[in-house]
Amino acid sequence: MSLIKKQYLKQTDLEVFECLENEKLRQSDSLEMIASENFVSASVLEATASTLTNKYAEGYPARRYYNGCEYADVVENLALERAKKLLGANFVNVQPHSGSQANMAALFACLEPGDTILGMDLNHGGHLSHGSRVNFSGRYYNVISYGLNAKDHRIDFEQLARLAKEHRPKLIIAGFSAYPRTLDFEKFRQIADNVNAILLADIAHILGLVVCGEHPNPIGIADIITSTTHKTLRGPRGGLIYTNNEGYAKRINSQIFPGIQGGPLMHIIAAKAVAFKEALEPSFHSYISKVKENAVALADGFMKNDLDIVSGGTDNHIVLLDLQKVSLTGKVLADALQDVGITANKNAVPFDPLPPRITSGVRFGSAALSTRGLGKSEFSQIANLVSSLVKNIGDENIAKKIRAEVSTITEAYPMDRFFLL
């Protein structure tokens, strides 16, 4: 069966077929360290490639606008039940096409254009959808940003409380894309309560950790919780919105559809259901503890090589290298890493003097390579390789040696089981 599938595309569209083949090679021959990426199981991949992509199912189970939704309903109900179990929540919407759509629906459910929101500064680790000027969130709302302490690179709760008092935001966002530390949702709650603000927790990066009790669960603390499904949770690309408040639940459903989306991606919802089942299994817990262990090995490896990392360590899957001391930019290092087969992204560090296209940092994540099977010793080895590249930037011979060591690692951890034929 699967062989035949592959041959269809090869025969009808060689250009796209070759891209997909090359992408498989790229994923297996390099070390994927982009913190927001992961490798889904072949089962999740199979569901994303399924016939449910053909189905229009506007609305919600048993309340659809189209006929023929009997299997779409079963699949969405499975996804809903499993998603609720993941966090112990009363309500979830599994239809957001992405994390950004989840945030848009959550904000639309609570706010009017022009209302004030308080979110983490993009330069300090926040996400575009938390109020960046180039994003809808920055265009529709009056945005106030909080950040980190210069001293220890932890969230500056004094500043956060002060800004909340001064600006009386209608909603506060607790969440990040590049912060290596645990979020104290209770502290956010207190500050929100003091000014009567709604608390939105965006756990896009850490959902996998939260599910396994490796990070505090915001359910029952935050009013609304948004997430992606494709980062540490290891599902298909997509989003989720949780709440335990019935009023918000109704508004969230109608903001997703018909508010900002049309028909749900039913094949993706099927894949979400599959990923949620996997995340409820004990093996996912051992995976997530490896994700954390491996991130610590990477962080320790950098520090042993005398490199600076933001906040001096990590509590999650993220390690943020600060290159200011070694006079390198994030862009130069991220490009040099790609040349030796290590994929990571340039990233602003707190108080970064350089613009977003250049930056002074590189962000690493342990989620994808932990899925691939790498352990602490390989993560320490990678820290040494990255450090050697940092100290010998531009040296072709050293780069060649590093590329060879990368290949030794990638060959030891084949990727075949993650690909459909």
Ligand X SMILES: *Cc1c(COP(=O)(O)O)cnc(C)c1O
- From residue 181, alpha-carbon distances to 129, 142, 148, 172, 293 in Å are 20, 27, 11, 19, 14
Residues 50-89, mask of contacts with ligand X (x by CB under 6 A): ----------------------------------------
Question: CA distances (Å), 175 to each of 122, 201, 367, in order?
Answer: 11, 6, 18
Please identify which residue in 27, 93, 98, 388 interacts with ligand X, judged by CB under 6 A: 98
Residues 236-255 that bind ligand X (CB under 6 A): 239
**Among candidate residues 168, 173, 163, the one with its CA nearest the CA of residue 203:** 173
Minimum CB separation of residue 129 from ligand X in Å reads 5
Using the minimum distance from each CB to ligand X, give the nearer residue, 96 or 341.
96
Minimal distance in Å, beta carbon 15 to ligand X?
26
Which range in 98-106, 285-293, 322-330, 388-396 contacts ligand X by CB under 6 A? 98-106
Task: Assess 124 for contact with ligand X (CB under 6 A).
Answer: no
Nearest approach, Cβ of residue 123 and ligand X (Å): 14
* Residue 345 is a binding residue for ligand X (CB under 6 A): no
Closer residue to ligand X in complex, CB, 260/303: 260
Judged by CB under 6 A, the chain residues 209 through 238 that form the site for ligand X are: 228
Minimum distance, C-beta of residue 106 to ligand X, in the bound complex (Å): 11
Under 8 Å between Cβ of 40 and 234: yes
Centre a 10 Å sphere on the Cβ of residue 285 and count the other Cβ atoms it contains.
16
* 202: contact with ligand X by CB under 6 A: yes
Q: Are 340 and 402 in contact (CB under 8 A)?
A: yes
Residue with smaller CB distance to ligand X, 241 or 336:
241
Give the per-residue contact string, 15-44, with ligand X (x = CB under 6 A; - = no).
---------------------x--------
* Residue 178 or 383 having the CB closest to ligand X: 178
Whether residue 58 lies in the annotated active site: yes
Amino acid at 34: I
Q: Which two tokens stand for residue 286?
A: 């051992």
Which residue intervals of 30-98 are DSSP H helices? 42-48, 70-87
The 160-179 contact track toward ligand X, x by CB under 6 A, reads ---------------xxx--
Q: Assess whether 278 carries a catalytic annotation.
A: no
Catalytic residue among 231, 251, 272, 346: 231
Among 59, 99, 208, 361, binds ligand X (CB under 6 A): 99
Catalytic annotation, pick one of 21, 24, 46, 56: 56
Q: Is 410 a catalytic residue?
A: no
> Which residue of the set 24, 84, 85, 237 is catalytic?
237
Which residue from 59, 226, 257 is spatially nearest to 137, judged by alpha carbons? Answer: 226
Distance in angstroms (rounded) separating the CA atoms of residues 340 and 401: 9
Total of residues contacting ligand X (CB under 6 A): 15
Site for ligand X in 278-337 (CB under 6 A): none
Task: Count the helix, strand and coil residues of the chain and give each as a percent rounded to the nearest 5.
Answer: 50, 15, 35
Listed in order, strand segments (DSSP E) in 357-399 are 361-365
Nearby residues of 205 by Cβ (< 8 Å), 6 or more positions away: 35, 36, 176, 177, 228, 231, 232, 316, 317, 318
228 is catalytic: yes
Going from the C-alpha of 407 to that of each of 29, 287, 303, 362, 391, the distances in angstroms are 7, 24, 24, 22, 21
**E-assigned strands of 11-105?**
31-32, 59-60, 63-64, 91-93
The catalytic residue among 48, 116, 228, 243 is: 228
Rounded Cα distance between 216 and 183, Å, is 8
Choose which of 110, 171, 199, 204 interacts with ligand X (CB under 6 A): 204
Identify which range of 18-26, 202-210, 272-280, 395-403 contacts ligand X by CB under 6 A.
Answer: 202-210
The residues carrying an active-site annotation are 56, 58, 202, 228, 231, 237
Interacting residues with ligand X (CB under 6 A): 36, 98-100, 103, 127, 129, 175-177, 202, 204-205, 228, 239
